[in-house]
Structures are given as C-alpha cells and as structure tokens.
Amino acid sequence: MKKISMKFPKITPWIIWVGFLSLMIAAGVAAGLMVFWKGLVVTNLTDLVPWGLWITIDLSSIAVAAGAFSLCAGVYLIGLKRYHAVARTATFIGLIGYTMALLSLVMDIGRPDRFWHALVYWNKHSLLWEVTMCVTLYLTVLLFESMPIFANLEWLQTRFPKLTDKMKGIHHYAPYLAVVGLGLSMLHQSSLGAVYGVLKARPLWYRPDISVLFIISAVAAGMSMTVFVSMLSARLSKRIKVDDSILERVAFFIGWILVGYLYFRFWDALSMTYTYDPGRTEGLKLLTSGPLSFNFWVGEMLLGIVTPMILLLNGRTRALPFWRMLALALVVGGVVAYRWDTNLAGFLVVLSYLPGLPAVTYTSYTPSLIEFMAGGGVVAYGMLAVSLGVRYLKVVDHDELHEEEHAHQAKLVEAATTGD
C-alpha cells in the first residue's frame, strides 16, 4: 500500500485543472506584486477612465454572489425548503465571490495599506461608504452561513469534532441570517448601481433605473452561476448527486427573471433615446452603434438575455442539460458584459465643462497586460476555491440531505412543542 502512495500522483483531469488554475493564480500574484511595487501606473487607467477591468471583475463577482441572498431568502423566508441544497451551494459561491471582489479592490485602490480607512472613517453621504459597510457586514453573514459547510471538511471533523458540531449548529440561525443577508444585499447590490447612478456629472449614468437593473441582473447571474456549478459538478463526478428537478425549477425561474430584466432594460434604454442630452446621447450611441455595440447587442442582449430566456423558458431545451447549462453560462456572461459596458460607456464620453452647450470628446481604454494577469488571477482563485469546495466540502450535494442539520431542526421543534 505504501508503495502506491509514494508514487507520483496520476495525472487526472482534476490535477490538470488545479495545475492550470494555480498557474493563473501565480501569474496573478506576480502581477499583483508589480502593482503594489510600481503603483497603478502599470495599468492603462487614466484620470478620465479611472475604473476599468478590475472594477468590472469586482462588480461581476458580487453579482455572481447574489444567488446566496436570493436563494437563502427563498428557502428560509418564503419557506421553499425543497431548495435548501441549492441555497447551500449559492452561499459558498457567494462567499467566494465576495472575497474575489475584495481581492480586486485591494489592487484597485491607490493606497492598499489604507484599506481599513474605509471602515474607520465614515462619510455617510457616500454610496461607496454604504457599499463598504454592507459588503463587510454581509461577508460576515456569509461566513456564518458557510460554517456548516466548512464543518464538512473531513480533516476538521476528525480533529475537532466538537468544533464542527458547533459550526453545524449555526444552521439554527439560518432564518435570521437570511433576513439580515436579504436586507444587506438588497441595499448594496442596488447601491453598486447607484454608485454610478448618483453622479450628475455623467449624464449616461445619472438615472435611478441603474440600481434596479443592477440588482435584477445580479439575481439572474447569481442563481445561474449556482445552478451551473451544481450541474457541472454532477456531470464531472459520479460521487456528486443532484436532484435535477430542483435545478430545473430554479432554471425556469431564472428564465422569468430574465423576462423582467429585459422589460426594465427596454424601457430604461428607450427613455434615453428621446431628445438630445449632451453626454447621455453620446454614451448611448457608444453602446448601440459605437465601439461597445458588439458587447451591447450580442453580448448583453442577444446572448446575455434573449437566447437564455428562450432556452430556459422553453420546457424542451430546459430539460436538456447541454442547452440549460449553455443558457446559464450565457446569463453570467451577459451580466459581466453589462457591468463592463456600464462602467466604460460612462467614462469614455468626456463632457466639457466649458461655457456653452457642453461639447463631447471621447477617450479610450484597453486594459494592460498586468491588469489582465492580475484580473485573471482573481478569477482563477474563485474557480479554484469553488472547485475545492465542491470536492472537499460537498458544496454541491443534494443527496445526503444533511441529516445532522435535520436532527437539530427536529430537536428544536420538539423543544418548542414541549415548552408550551
């Protein structure tokens, strides 16, 4: 037996996948160190386009994390207990998503050593202050919500059985955590849109709809990511069992969210086409016929909303794993494209402040290699973390039904009834 374990590990697809991600992370760490060493001059950001690729990754990973609050709310507040296992997957993806966001932000700010200022010095008027507070608090909520998941680690279970018992016990508070999570997420998922939406100097952004669109798209992307990861895991490993009827229902629901999302996007965009508004009209043109038009029409609309909407609402395509997974991946891609386009369309249009009718000029932005490497590292970290979670923490697991958690629940009910 010992001889076998001494042998070089067999090259499995898993090893290749982990190796590939590790390489990406290593490149990302190297790029990140360059950023800390040389400063943000290594990026292609300018005073006119101060936010770029990393902010897109930050916004997208928070959007993808939105499955956690929405599915937890569904399970613990609306009472759709059947979806418990999916909410569990979403919670873990949420946790990873938020840590990805923090990683990209630490690189993006000019003084990473002062990141704690955001928590200590408060300007309550700032949307970013609100986002910081909500994200920090919600990350704490997610950590608590993920405790029962981390308790699944075999190594921890054998060494500290009492600790893992306690960690599993946190499950009792799931409904309360879900309420707090819902409140915090509703606030900051929308405020991330409002970060742009309150800037009067940028007419393309200055509108209330943007916060509504941010949260709807986030819920679509978050749920899609959750179901996609669940389906992919079950297909890649025989040990992982999923209840496909549940995933199919969530996918159907995502289809309807896309209908709502498209509806709001349509009226939002249409209302901006009337009358000439300096800056706004040009921004919209960038999206519909300018350099961002392919992203907008193909990435966001056709592939990001319309195609998956049809694939997920049509029972026949939804039943086929390939088409359903394709649709879910497209939703995530579409939302990432939406974040990228929103950020860039507002910055690329430079509105003059000189007297007379504001004149418009354009600037450009293409991320530098370092930005791509560092951003890729953050994404690879997220993928690796989720992969490890699926493999070692049973993040995707509809089979076991978490007997212990149910035992706790039973005890609680018993206590409540005997207490009367």
In the bound state with other proteins, the residue whose beta carbon lies nearer, of 253 and 347, is: 347
Q: Find the binder of other proteins among 19, 81, 82, 115 (CB under 8 A).
A: 115
Tell me whether residue 40 or residue 80 sits nearer to other proteins (CB atom). 40
* 132 scored as a contact of other proteins (CB under 8 A): yes
Distances (CA, A) of 202 to 42, 44, 345: 26, 21, 10
Burial of 65 by CB count in 10 Å (0-12 exposed, 13-18 middle, 19+ buried)?
buried
Q: Which of 71, 96, 127, 374 binds other proteins (CB under 8 A)?
A: 127
92 touches 149 (CB < 8 A): yes
Distance CA 68, CA 89 (A): 8
Q: Contact with other proteins (CB under 8 A): which of 5, 275, 417, 418?
A: 417
Closest approach, Cβ 46 to other proteins, in A, equals 8
Smallest gap from Cβ 403 to other proteins, in A, equals 22
Burial of 293 (0-12, 13-18, 19+ CB in 10 A): middle
Q: Which stretch binds other proteins (CB under 8 A): 24-32, 171-179, 304-312, 329-337?
A: 171-179
Residue 362 binding other proteins, by CB under 8 A: no
Task: Using alpha carbons, select from 120, 173, 128, 170 the residue that is nearest to residue 149.
Answer: 170
Residue of 2, 3, 10, 125 interacting with other proteins (CB under 8 A): 125
Report residue 244 CA to chain centroid gap: 23
Q: Which residue in the set 22, 26, 413, 414 belongs to the binding site for other proteins (CB under 8 A)?
A: 413
**Out of 8, 354, 403, 418, which residue is the one contacting other proteins (CB under 8 A)?**
354
Strand pairing partners for 360? 351
Query: Which element (helix H / strand E) includes 176?
Result: helix 174-197
348 binds other proteins (CB under 8 A): no
Angle made by CA atoms 408, 395, 217, in degrees to the nearest 5: 110
Does an H or E element contain 147, and which?
Answer: helix 127-150
51 counts as binding other proteins under rule CB under 8 A? yes
Interface residues with other proteins (CB under 8 A) are 38-41, 43, 45, 47-48, 50-51, 77, 108-111, 114-115, 117-118, 121-129, 132, 175-176, 179-180, 183, 187, 195-196, 198-202, 346-347, 350-351, 353-355, 358, 413, 416-417, 420
